[in-house]
Structure 1
Amino acid sequence: MSAGLDGEAADLGSKALGLVLLHRLGLRVPPAFAVTAEACRAFLHERRLPDGLHEELAEGVAGLERATGRTLGGPDRPLAVSVRSGAGVSMPGMLDTVLGLGLTTAATAALAAETGDEGFAEDSRDRFLTSFTATVPGPVPDDAPTQLVRAVEAVFASWESPRARTYRALHGLPDGPGTAAVVQVMVFGNRDPRSGTGVAFSRDPVTGEHTPYGDVRFRAQGEDVVSGTRPVLPLRELADHDDELWTELGDALRRVEAHYRDACYTEFTFESGELWLLQVRPARFTGAAAVRTAVELAEAGTVDRREALRRVSPRDLARVPRIGSPRTVAARGTGACPGVAVGRVVTTAEAAVREARRAPVVLVRPETSPADLAGVAAAVGIVTERGGPASHAAVVARALRKPAVVGTGALRLPEGTLVTVDGTTGEVALGTPPIVTDPPGDHLRHLLAWADEVSGDPAPRAEADRLTAAHRALGAV
């Protein structure tokens, strides 16, 4: 039930299929294999890995070793891998991941000897131990094949975790499919000063502007960015750090966007100046960003006008409110999801769930984690002190259409303080300042004009009528 990345699409999951796409587009992807969702379903039913899977894991690892000339857990030229989930529909941060697997005591010493950098080897080992113990309760075996089996079991088991169940319930996803597990050669963003990691959108997820947008952190690993626990830099900083990497990343984003015919999202790592893409999927923008992207893709001839109309939902047509003046600004950060939310401050997910039954609340946290999902869902708005537009808080807020501000820095607001959150400008204001809305922008006017032009074909005509009616009902004309 393991497979190369050309296995059955239905059980490989979105992550593995994204890796296939990147490879076929000629982009650099670390070698990988997938353990299919069929194996996950069998594991959840029997509470053990299916017969024969241990041997298939060994075969998959042997393929990675041949591709890299390294040995998993080996005392010479050691290989380390990541084990990530791969559900059919992306569930950001909800399922478990183990990074740096295979860095046994002997392999860590070998990595230090090979690179001449004991600090790098020890940092990588520490990251593995942290990742493994957070995912697989109990002692860490100093044996790479056993580590791999335990990690795959943990990824499969996380499908039934409370946070994963909550996420599926919020998004109307079925419980039955299970998740694939992707075993992939590690690339070390913490290797040296020419290494790092980041997340990139092909367009701005808040405005839809056609420019690479996201977060980057140098000499770091991916969890430092997506968790929101470490400071990050705007993606554009990569251009000043390494212009060749910036150009290569921009070219990759253009290729992927041309394939999807839509805005895209990628996770990447660069090791010693070499760029590797680890994940890709359509970005699925909402609001003004969805409207602008649909219109600009149609104007560029990437999609036709009828397809542009189909891609925009009635909710995307609403005029986005923002905080007006006068106002008392308590904090400024990065707007992560457009809109305005007014509520009283709570500082834990548990308090958000409890207090939201009585009145609207705004969840204020240093950062959010998957364990906070119920609180994020209960709150009307999200504010985090750390993290950027690709952090867990930002990604989940956009998926739930919750106004959000991230990266405000230290924010000391007592619980119960009434605040207004502006997810476009990135402001957090005290009390209830005036709320204003801007007139419809050019992209929305273009889209509605196209809706008026569509005739003859019942499907696009119905889509156009639906959007026009929604636009009027939302008071945006």
Structure 2
Amino acid sequence: MSDTKRVYRFGSDANGVDVTEGASSMKYMLGGKGANLAEMCRIGLPVPGGYTITCQTCMEYADAGNVWPAGALDEIEAATRDLEERMGKRLGDARDPLLVSVRSGAPFSMPGMMDTVLNLGLNDASAQGLIAQTGDPHFVWDSYRRFIQMFSDVVMGVDAELFENALTDKRLIAGVRTDAELSADDLHELVEEFKGIFRANVSAAEHPELIVDGAIAFPQDPAVQLKLAIEAVFGSWMNERACIYRKANDIPDDLGTAVNVQAMAYGNKGESSATGVAFTRNPANGARERYGDFLVNAQGEDVVAGIRNTEPIQKMGEYPALAQAAADLERIFQILEGHFHDMCDIEFTIEQGKLWMLQTRVGKRTAQAALRIAIDMVEEGLIDRAEAVRRIDPAQLDQLLHPQFDASADFEVLARGLNASPGAAVGEVVFSSDDAVAAVAEGRKVILVRWETNPDDLKGMVAAEGILTSHGGKTSHAAVIARGMGAPCVCGAEAIQIDAAAKEARVAGTDIVLREGDVISIDGTEGIVVAGAVPLVSVELTGDLETILSWADEIRLRPGNTHPYHVRVNADNPEDAERALGFGAEAIGLCRTEHMFLGERKNIIQTFILSDDPAVREQALSDLLAVQTGDFLKMFRTMDGRDVVVRLIDPPLHEFLDAPRELEVDIARREAAGAPEAELAPLRARLRRIDGMAEMNPMLGLRGVRLSFVFPELPLMQVRAVASAAATLIRDEGLDPRPEVMVPLVALATEQVQMRAVCEQVIAEVAAEFGVALDIPVGTMLELPRACLTADEIARSADFLCFGTNDLTQTTFGFSRDDAESKFMPVYLHRKLVEKNPFETIDKAVLELVRMAVEKARSVKPAMHCGVCGEHGGDPASIRGLFNTAGVDYVSCSPYRVPIARLAAAQAKLAEPVR
């Protein structure tokens, strides 16, 4: 038998003495749910007893091909006997049975993604015993039919719709509206019907252990029920929706899920019983108010499944039979926040007036709520500013940069629901997850409209711009998942009467019918639905976000920091530069001059490249100088007093030229139309010239610094434009322009030496011409492994280094970014050949090249300024590595990612290793 401990107890013994073996610090072993159940027991909260099977057991079981590790079942059996002794009841007992729940619990919260089984231990004999013990046959038969339905669906894979259809038919026959109104006899009949559905849909060949008297039967042995349920929960770790959720939330696949086996507490024992889900603060906006839903005479799955409309938690005290439990819950709210120093999400059950806590965890919240809660808790003295900054997920800030309805727009509200997840979205109506995915694949934006979502809808929810449901509360599946994704969501819009089969929805009280493809707008902040497209606007960096980012800036740029962490922006025009300043960028880390050659100016650069006439080339160069100088004047004026790193022309030559095959087709069409030779000859010459410049691999061909040697007039022109713009602003406007020139794609120190000489010569000429002093640093962009390996040699002729990690990733892996992400990267991610897309989050080998290059460069120039520009500069995971591992001074990213980078840089500073 293994010495590995696989099962941990929580709760009290028969004498009320706490026997809990876990704690909140053990979430990677016990899962978040199991660790927090143990913690609640330790601080004296009312928790039904149970035990937790570890996450590691789940992975051992899965890695062995769903075979139990040696000794695990024996340990589980011992824990079950111990729980029976503690509770004074036995599973399956015909007089006073113990019933348990079997729930998943991963180290990170994955609401609704994995499976749960309630009321386990019921069978024909124990049901009768429970009736005798409680005197409440309605409660017992309701619990038994729930157990059969859930066990059949979750454990055996029987279609849940079969049971729902039978339940609906029973309500119609009985003439009642809700399940709770069915009589005990109705429910007893349903139990037998459900057993029949089980028999008809479970394979005897696949489950010989369930054969009784030669036929398949619903299992009556609680030990068999328990073993199969635990295996099903383990198996749900790898179900499709859980895998999609983990991928979307960057949760590793090798953590596994714990299983919590816990004595049942019943919220369906009449009007003095209830169940609910609540938050200690409002997870939608962060307000200091209790938030959540409850149902009288129900079980917990009824709340989160959205099958009955709930009541707000604030109304619970209005029920006389629940008043004491409501007061106890308020006290527990305060205890939990005081203990965890955070907003908590809880699940509870009230059984005949007695409050039981079934779960607590740090609650998921919108970005808006996260900011408000962090600031309030600083003001309340629960946390300090550094902890407030740590708690904000940088990627979640995207929610606050998402569009909202334009306040000046004129529209009529079609329907109202609950404001479940903030933000606004516009899209075509679709009624299924598959249709959402298909529409998005065609380039259409959609709103997923459902009666209520379930975990299998996750792929459609991820694809959609927003989610609209006609049922469910603020803690329903749709609401919780949408908030976590940052997707706008309106729940419980009861006026939207959905016919999914017909792919249409009628709006109650009107003659309006929404059909698939119709455009609607939803506002998850206000909880409204509008027909047609409402104009959307982006929000400003104000209020709580500004406060948190100012605290982040204090941390990353604090006076006395030996190594401040700076954030710059990639901007190629004054508009982007001005926007980035509003987002808090400190400087421009990358101005891509080739973007200034596009649009109407493309003809100018084409003429320069393709013409054989010196006079024509000289005129084209003069035109380029004029437009580039004008561009830099605007850029430097906008960024007065701030650095602007200008990269010389970089992309492959073919990006500036016509596509040769398109030109060939054009010539053929003209010939067919009888065009004269005088018209065709120049086109043919142009085609020959373009074909003569064709490269087998343009990304590794005539680009970057190589262009500057093959077309030496280009760098001369660009540096002159930079210097002339700066000199003009100094001389004529008294401004403080701070341009820096960056040479791209350097592989050899000799390239940098010669290009620096060219740049310095032009800068000196312009300075003399304008009669001003010009101090324009000349640096290098490192995008090739060779450059990183010889960074000490290159640094001798460079004033700064900036790493182009997009190209460095391409050249390190030998991957073409354009091809990899469309051709084989999805396969690599699916088969786990790579953990993450290296073009989104920096790879460890690329990071090591950056670290090595920084170290080499500073070995010859200790004060060498080093930065990173590109997509990695806006990725929180990459930012931490670039600052804390590679030791760069700044990251540079697109304007809308600047707030994310500011926060991520502060968190990197807080996690900075001791040096």
TM-score (norm: length of structure 1): 0.93
Residue 531 of structure 2 aligns with an amino acid whose one-letter code is: L
Match of 1:329 in 2: 413
Residue 8 of structure 2 aligns with an amino acid whose one-letter code is: A
Distance change (3 Å), C-alpha of 1:50 and 1:293: same
2:483 corresponds to which of 387, 390, 398: 398
Deviation for aligned residue 1:65: 1.2
Distance change (3 Å), C-alpha of 1:9 and 1:380: closer
Alignment of 1:123-272 (within 5 A): 123-137=142-156, 138=202, 139-241=217-319, 242-272=322-352
Distance change (3 Å), C-alpha of 1:225 and 1:341: same
Residue 4 of structure 1 aligns with an amino acid whose one-letter code is: R
Residue 351 (structure 1) aligned with residue 435 (structure 2): yes
Q: Give me the whole-angstrom Cα distance separating, in 2, the residues matched to 1:26 and 1:227.
A: 30
Once the two structures are overlaid, the 10-residue window that deviates more, 316-325 or 62-71, is: 316-325
Once the two structures are overlaid, the 10-residue window that deviates more, 9-18 or 321-330, is: 321-330
Distance change (3 Å), C-alpha of 1:339 and 1:170: same
Distance change (3 Å), C-alpha of 1:181 and 1:476: closer
2:38 corresponds to which of 20, 44, 50: 20
Of the two, which has the highest radius of gyration?
2
Residues 228 and 388 in structure 1, CA contact (< 8 A), matched pair in contact too: yes
Residues 440 and 476 in structure 1, CA contact (< 8 A), matched pair in contact too: no
Q: Give me the whole-angstrom Cα distance separating, in 1, the residues matched to 2:55 and 2:479.
A: 28
Residue 419 of structure 2 aligns with an amino acid whose one-letter code is: G
Match of 1:295 in 2: 375
Distance change (3 Å), C-alpha of 1:171 and 1:450: closer
SS in 2 for 1:141: coil
Q: Give me the whole-angstrom Cα distance separating, in 1, the residues matched to 2:428 and 2:327.
A: 44
Once the two structures are overlaid, the 10-residue window that deviates more, 360-369 or 406-415, is: 406-415
Distance change (3 Å), C-alpha of 1:244 and 1:322: farther
CA RMSD in angstroms, aligned pairs only: 2.5
Match of 2:52 in 1: 34
Q: Give me the whole-angstrom Cα distance separating, in 2, the residues matched to 1:191 and 1:460.
A: 62
Deviation for aligned residue 1:319: 7.6
Deviation for aligned residue 1:156: 0.8
Alignment of 1:292-441 (within 5 A): 292-312=372-392, 313=394, 314-315=397-398, 318=401, 321-322=404-405, 324=407, 325-358=409-442, 359-411=444-496, 412=505, 413-435=514-536
Q: Give me the whole-angstrom Cα distance separating, in 2, the residues matched to 1:329 and 1:55.
A: 60
Q: Give me the whole-angstrom Cα distance separating, in 2, the residues matched to 1:101 and 1:457.
A: 61
Residues 71 and 77 in structure 1, CA contact (< 8 A), matched pair in contact too: yes
Residues 389 and 395 in structure 1, CA contact (< 8 A), matched pair in contact too: yes
Residues 335 and 404 in structure 1, CA contact (< 8 A), matched pair in contact too: yes
Once the two structures are overlaid, the 10-residue window that deviates more, 120-129 or 172-181, is: 172-181
Which structure exhibits the higher relative contact order, with contacts defined as CA atoms closer than 8 Å and separated by 6 or more residues?
A: 1
Deviation for aligned residue 1:447: 3.6
Deviation for aligned residue 1:462: 4.6
SS in 2 for 1:184: strand
SS in 2 for 1:17: helix
Distance change (3 Å), C-alpha of 1:67 and 1:235: same
Residues 85 and 182 in structure 1, CA contact (< 8 A), matched pair in contact too: yes
Distance change (3 Å), C-alpha of 1:318 and 1:42: same
1:421-465: CA deviations, max 9, x gaps?
Answer: 101100011111244567766434544554566533649975999
SS in 2 for 1:4: strand
Once the two structures are overlaid, the 10-residue window that deviates more, 340-349 or 167-176, is: 167-176
Distance change (3 Å), C-alpha of 1:47 and 1:439: closer
Q: Give me the whole-angstrom Cα distance separating, in 1, the residues matched to 2:101 and 2:398.
A: 38
Aligned residues with identical type, % of pairs: 40
Q: Give me the whole-angstrom Cα distance separating, in 1, the residues matched to 2:584 and 2:348.
A: 38
Deviation for aligned residue 1:320: 6.3
SS in 1 for 2:237: helix
Q: Give me the whole-angstrom Cα distance separating, in 1, the residues matched to 2:451 and 2:354.
A: 32
1:273-296: CA deviations, max 9, x gaps?
Answer: 111111111114232211111110
Residue 152 of structure 1 aligns with an amino acid whose one-letter code is: I
Match of 2:80 in 1: 61
SS in 1 for 2:441: coil
SS in 1 for 2:515: coil
1:456 corresponds to which of 545, 552, 559: 559
1:135-162: CA deviations, max 9, x gaps?
Answer: 1213530111110001011111111111
Residues 339 and 424 in structure 1, CA contact (< 8 A), matched pair in contact too: yes
SS in 2 for 1:46: coil
1:79-117: CA deviations, max 9, x gaps?
Answer: 100001111111111111110000111111111111111
SS in 1 for 2:346: strand
Going by fraction, where is strand more abundant, 1 or 2?
A: 1
Residue 405 of structure 2 aligns with an amino acid whose one-letter code is: R
Q: Give me the whole-angstrom Cα distance separating, in 2, the residues matched to 1:22 and 1:99.
A: 21
Unaligned runs of 5+ in 1: none
Residues 405 and 534 in structure 2, CA contact (< 8 A), matched pair in contact too: no
Residues 229 and 386 in structure 1, CA contact (< 8 A), matched pair in contact too: yes
Deviation for aligned residue 1:250: 1.7
TM-score (norm: length of structure 2): 0.50
Residue 533 of structure 2 aligns with an amino acid whose one-letter code is: T
SS in 1 for 2:33: helix
Deviation for aligned residue 1:254: 1.6
Residue 60 of structure 1 aligns with an amino acid whose one-letter code is: A
Residues 37 and 47 in structure 2, CA contact (< 8 A), matched pair in contact too: yes
Deviation for aligned residue 1:475: 11
Match of 1:11 in 2: 29
Count how many residue pairs are aligned between Structure 1 and Structure 2.
477
Match of 2:132 in 1: 113
Distance change (3 Å), C-alpha of 1:452 and 1:42: closer
Q: Give me the whole-angstrom Cα distance separating, in 1, the residues matched to 2:46 and 2:220.
A: 31
Once the two structures are overlaid, the 10-residue window that deviates more, 49-58 or 220-229, is: 49-58
Q: Give me the whole-angstrom Cα distance separating, in 1, the residues matched to 2:411 and 2:538.
A: 16
1:201-238: CA deviations, max 9, x gaps?
Answer: 11111110011101111100000011112211111121
Q: Give me the whole-angstrom Cα distance separating, in 1, the residues matched to 2:53 and 2:563.
A: 41
Deviation for aligned residue 1:328: 2.4
Q: Give me the whole-angstrom Cα distance separating, in 2, the residues matched to 1:340 and 1:328.
A: 15
Residue 123 of structure 2 aligns with an amino acid whose one-letter code is: T
Q: Give me the whole-angstrom Cα distance separating, in 1, the residues matched to 2:89 and 2:54.
A: 24
Alignment of 1:25-104 (within 5 A): 25-44=43-62, 45-104=64-123
Distance change (3 Å), C-alpha of 1:444 and 1:243: farther
Going by fraction, where is helix more abundant, 1 or 2?
A: 2
1:238-264: CA deviations, max 9, x gaps?
Answer: 121233222211221221122222111
